[in-house]
């Protein structure tokens, strides 16, 4: 698929259910939902947006909204790329790459100075995608934020800001 088939959407309250559904699908397939996941997925307005974060979605005509990703503000000009997921039915379409590029551009637009993510070695395809777009493994991020999720054993920072 070409990027022209993808449409980028900003968060709006009626999309909260999609944010939750997409994330529950990928998290529960590989892991179990943790208390922090449930808190964020049940109230993205309070947990992400009210503190200066952003949530984006990717839509494919005929398939609907198939992916989402968030920027969670964790410090002055510091953001965690979090809750990135693409429905299994849309994997391999390029939607994840499109979404990741869009969220990196959003981070640049809001003048983020540090963009990082936490993940797990099981997420090999996602890690490869992150690496291909400029994320590098970062032990300092693991030290500072890694304990937030029990499933976290990989931490990366984006060095292209």
pLDDT of residue 22 exceeding 70 = yes
Identify the helix (H) or strand (E) that includes residue 126.
helix 124-132
pLDDT of residue 3 exceeding 90 = no
pLDDT of residue 132 exceeding 80 = yes
Contact 40, 47 (CB under 8 A): yes
Q: What is the pLDDT of residue 149?
A: 80
Mean pLDDT, the chain, integer: 93
Identify the helix (H) or strand (E) that includes residue 8.
strand 7-10
Domain ranges of the chain: 3-158
Mode of pairing for the β-strands spanning 114-119 and 78-86: parallel
pLDDT of residue 1 exceeding 50 = no
Residue carrying the six token digits 């609907």: 64
Q: At what angle do helices 95-109 and 124-132 cross, to 10 degrees?
A: 50
Q: Which of 71, 98, 83, 106 is nearest to 18 (CA)?
A: 83
List of residues 6+ apart from 37 with CB closer than 8 A: 23, 27, 149
**Mean pLDDT (whole number) for 61-69:** 95
- 50-64 pLDDT, tens digit per residue, is 999 999 999 999 999
Does 3.40.50.300 match the CATH number of domain 3-158?
Answer: no
pTM for this structure?
Answer: 0.93
pLDDT of residue 131 exceeding 90 = yes
pLDDT of residue 108 exceeding 60 = yes
Q: What pLDDT band is residue 160 in, cutting at 50, 70 and 90?
A: confident
């Amino acid at each position: 698929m070409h990027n022209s088939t993808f449409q980028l959407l900003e968060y709006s309250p009626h999309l909260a259910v999609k944010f939750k559904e997409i994330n529950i699908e990928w998290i529960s397939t590989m892991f179990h939902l943790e208390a922090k996941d449930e808190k964020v997925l049940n109230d993205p307005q309070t947990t992400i947006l009210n503190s200066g974060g952003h949530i984006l979605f990717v839509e494919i005509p005929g398939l609907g909204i198939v992916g989402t990703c968030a920027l969670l503000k964790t410090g002055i000009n510091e953001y965690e790329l979090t809750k990135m997921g693409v429905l299994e039915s849309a994997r391999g379409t390029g939607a994840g790459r499109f979404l990741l590029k869009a969220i990196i551009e959003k981070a640049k637009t809001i003048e983020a100075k540090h963009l990082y993510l936490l993940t797990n070695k099981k997420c090999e395809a996602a890690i490869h995608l992150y690496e291909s777009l400029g994320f590098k493994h970062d032990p300092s991020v693991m030290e500072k934020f890694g304990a937030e999720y029990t499933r976290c054993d990989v931490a990366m920072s984006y060095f292209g800001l």
